[in-house]
Amino acid sequence: MRKFLLLGLVMVISCSMYAQQEESLTFEKAVEIGLENNFDVKIATNQVLLAENEKKQAGSLLMPVLDLNNTRIYRKEDTEQAFVSDPENPRIIPNAQTRNNNYSLVAIYGFRADAVVAMQRLGKLTEVTELEAKVVIENTVASIATTYYRLVLEQQRYEVLEHTLKLSDERLEIAKAQYEFGRASKRDFLAAQVDYNADLTALVSQEQVIQNSRINLNELLAVGPEKDFVVKDTIIIKESLSIEELRESAFDQNKTFLATQRMENVAYLQLKELRAQRLPTITLNGSYIDNTLNSDAGFLLSNQQQGINLGATISLNLFSGLSLNRRIQAAKIQINNQKHLMEQYQNQMVSDLQRTYNTYENSKRLLEIERKNYEVAVESSDITLDRFRLGITNYLEFRDAQVSRLQAESRLIESLYTIKENEIELMRLSGKIYFANMSM
């Protein structure tokens, strides 16, 4: 009775877990949802927009400044004026009013050679930001792929444990019947009960693992942890990958490597920009003025001016306290640092590729061994079960065969996942994962 209660419990848990699932989730759909909702992807996209805005603002350095001004002045005051011609009789004007109305249109254009280089530098930085955003996207796709297939693995492991529990249930029924007919001791029956409970515990624990794996996937997809998907998929291995093609692709498409190259270009442009500050600066200015003056006191009762003023200024910095020299020297050092960083990442990228590829190839060889081992374990388990039914094999031999089959099948699906995990990493390192994610 206790066995049936425990079996009923696991069935209730399983039914409640799958009853909440509403829609099927394929790998392609998971990537689509992740790229649309993932917060890291959204932040990276906004960073690109900010970089593009900075680049557009840099263009204003080469644009003229145009100002329209209007000045109005009104004064009302008592005025007393003494003239040289008649100092004894000053002129007194109470409440003398003065009105001045001035319109001006002023245009200023300053050309600086370093501003042109600054625009080029900001353009390269925008490219770097775009590449960094693609790195975030590729890393997100890789994480989604790894987590998705981890969920597939855990579900396959659940099926293995479920089959193991069925074998334990069959063994328990046989042990019970043999005990009741006096063909086996109670110890054998109790041992079967203990093994059945252990397998049931493993199955219930695996349900928790599946739930946590699903929550991990939901987190990457930026959906609530309560969201349930039906993941019906298998782990399919691609055809054999070539290390030469992967390495060639990495140099052409690895976004982090390309961004490191761009940063070296940025360092060169920074040096060029600083050196350009030693060149003369040309400033052009022009204005149109319309000025009207009306006054009740003074020599001029009214005065009106209209006309154009033009001018140009050429300036050259002769000395700035050696600060520019220090900045140029620092820029040269930065160029060397960026060169070393690019070489360092290049070496790391090639090493990571080779290490992952070695693991990938070794895992494929292990997969063939595990497949053969699994076939042997299944055949051995079936033979042992038949012998156990006939009473030829004792429960210890049966349990050993059962555990061997469980371990063989677990190692087999784990090998498949390991190959898939290395395959995903190889696609990421070679810069292909974003373009090939729909065929993962």
Check residue 18 and give its pLDDT.
43
Check residue 235 and give its pLDDT.
84
Domain co-membership, 265 together with 292: no
Q: Which of 315, 336, 370 is the last residue of a domain?
A: 315
Domain co-membership, 166 together with 47: yes
Edge to edge, the sheet with strand 302-315 lists 65-83, 86-111, 281-295, 302-315
Check residue 434 and give its pLDDT.
61
Check residue 22 and give its pLDDT.
57
Domain co-membership, 74 together with 218: no
Domain co-membership, 274 together with 386: yes
Residue 296: pLDDT band by 50, 70, 90 thresholds? Answer: low
292 within domain boundaries: yes
Task: Domain count for the chain, please give it.
Answer: 2
Read off the CATH number of the domain in which 256 is found: 1.20.1600.10
More confident residue, 439 or 334: 334
2 within domain boundaries: no
Check residue 282 and give its pLDDT.
84
Copy the structure tokens of residue 282. 């040309």
Domain co-membership, 30 together with 72: no
Domain co-membership, 306 together with 345: no
Could you list the residue range(s) of the whole structural domain that residue 199 is in? 21-62+121-279+320-439
Average pLDDT estimate for 420-439:
79
CA 279 – CA 193 distance, rounded (Å) = 91
Domain co-membership, 107 together with 240: no
Name 108's bridge partners. Answer: 65, 285
Domain co-membership, 383 together with 404: yes
Domain co-membership, 402 together with 425: yes
Domain co-membership, 160 together with 255: yes
pTM here? 0.78
Check residue 362 and give its pLDDT.
93
11 within domain boundaries: no
β-strands 65-83, 23-24 pairing: unpaired
